[in-house]
Structure 1
């Protein structure tokens, strides 16, 4: 059975599971929860880590150097048991090392470490990917946290996402789980997007570029969460239609393009890490209740 590690400070309490190194609880000191509870009637996830791909591969088959490997949506890390490598009052670090099971579907020697750290009213979730192989390793990495919509104390109020850069990033949609080549107009106006459930009737909203390095989600003059992103150039917003949550997903890598290259290294925004090198990706969320 998965185990839980709790970290806490005077402002926040966070529980992290060994299964997927996935955050299970994010509460403020008043006992209010801000993270989705994983009700499987809508969606059983809470804050999965996406590795070694983000999104789908065509026919759920990943191509690496011309070879084919079975790979489900968002990769295998979210369904893998991690090992607790470090735990203190305000930090926990879980690690997933390559194994015969992972090598059968992703033929590289790697180490994926996921660290949750509290500092004041902010939580940072960081992923470090180390290539321990003798050859370059292509991959994608993403975060998929789901937060309550409406936020605590904000029922019946309009919720807004505002980009720090006040940009109007172009939108793409999914076609059978793959990135559609059709580029759509931005739903943001001067960086502002008023949320409504109709936005997600066609699945996720994906912004491959120009969404910037941070955003605010919440109620104007009310509860708000501020996010900042490190080495995560892609942004997706997703809600299971009618569910009381919204996923704010920073990525480095997206699903494969429809009718595009099948090679992992050629997927949009995939990374290729040289032997012995490490890549770091992180988001920080600060809660203003």
Structure 2
């Protein structure tokens, strides 16, 4: 059975489940709920951690040195029970290590640690991947948090995503979960994207590069969330049309490309750790004062 760890300060309260080290709620002191509630009518996820792949593999199968391994979309970490390894009032760390079950589909000796930390009105979610094996270890990693749309107190207001770098990154469309090898013009104009459900009629908006290291998701003349990303060069935005959430997804790795290699290490933006190596990925989100 999954257990819940609560961390809190005077401004924020966060619940994190041992199943997938996944956030279950983010609440401010006024009782407002900022994280999606996992309503099964739309999507049961809330803030899954994506490892050892991001997105889909052809026929849900990856190749590791030519050998096929079954791998569901976004990997297996989100369905695994993590162990609580450290906790305080404002911090918790969960860990997942290689096991017989994981080695059957991902033949590497890894450790994945996921931390949630509060500092005033800022939440930091960080992950560290370690290679405990004797060979190089390829993997993809991503965060997939879903926030309320509309944001609390902003019903009826237009919502906008604004890139800190003012960029107009090109989109890489998805077809049956795989990335097209084409790029399409950016839906951003001078870093600004006005959100509407029809943007997501054909799945997520994926921006493999150029979105920068930060953005603001907020309502016009209303509340806003400010994000910063560390070692996460890819960005996706996603919802199901009609669902009251927006996923802001920073990644290091993407879905496989249609017609591309099925080898894990050849997937776009795959990380490859040397034996004994480690890599850190993180995002922060600042809530309204």
Interval of TM-score (by shorter of Structure 1 and Structure 2): over 0.9
Residues 124-135 of structure 1: pairs in structure 2 closer than 5 A: 124-135=124-135
Instruction: Let me know the Cα RMSD of the aligned residues.
Output: 0.6
Q: Distance in 2 between matches of 1:205 and 1:141?
A: 18
* Cα deviation code 1:74-106 (max 9, x no counterpart): 000000000000010000000000000000000
The alpha-carbon deviation at position 220 of structure 1 amounts to 2.8
What SS class does the counterpart of residue 288 from structure 1 fall into?
coil
Aligned to 1:86: 86
- The alignment status of 1:221 with 2:221, answered yes or no, reads yes
Map 1:266-285; keep pairs closer than 5 Å. 266-285=266-285
Rounded to whole Å, the distance in 2 between the matches of 1:85 and 1:22 is 15
> Is the aligned partner of 1:163 residue 2:163?
yes
Report the Cα offset of residue 181 of structure 1.
1.2
1:201 matched to 2:211: no
Q: How does 1:137-216 map to 2 (within 5 A)?
A: 137-216=137-216
Displacement after TM superposition at 1:15 (Å): 0.3
| Contact residue 157 and residue 220 of structure 2 kept, 8 A | no
Map 1:20-59 onto structure 2 (within 5 A). 20-59=20-59
CA distance in 1, matches of 2:264, 2:246: 28
How far the C-alpha of 1:222 sits from its partner, in A, is 1.2
Cα deviation, residue 159, structure 1:
0.2
Alignment partner, residue 254 of structure 2: 254
Shift of 1:288: 1.2
For 1:223 and 1:183, the matched residues in 2 are separated by: 32
Q: Which runs of 5+ in 2 are unaligned?
A: none
Mapped partners of 1:155, 1:103: distance in 2: 46
Equivalent residues, number: 289
Separation in 1, partners of 2:93, 2:202: 36
Looking at structure 2, the residues matched to 134 and 104 of structure 1 have their Cα atoms a distance apart, in angstroms, of 17
TM-score by length of 1: 0.99
* Structure 1 stretches lacking a partner, 5+ long: none
TM-score, normalised relative to structure 2: 0.99
Aligned residue runs from structure 1 range 62-77, under 5 A: 62-77=62-77
SS at match of 2:250: strand
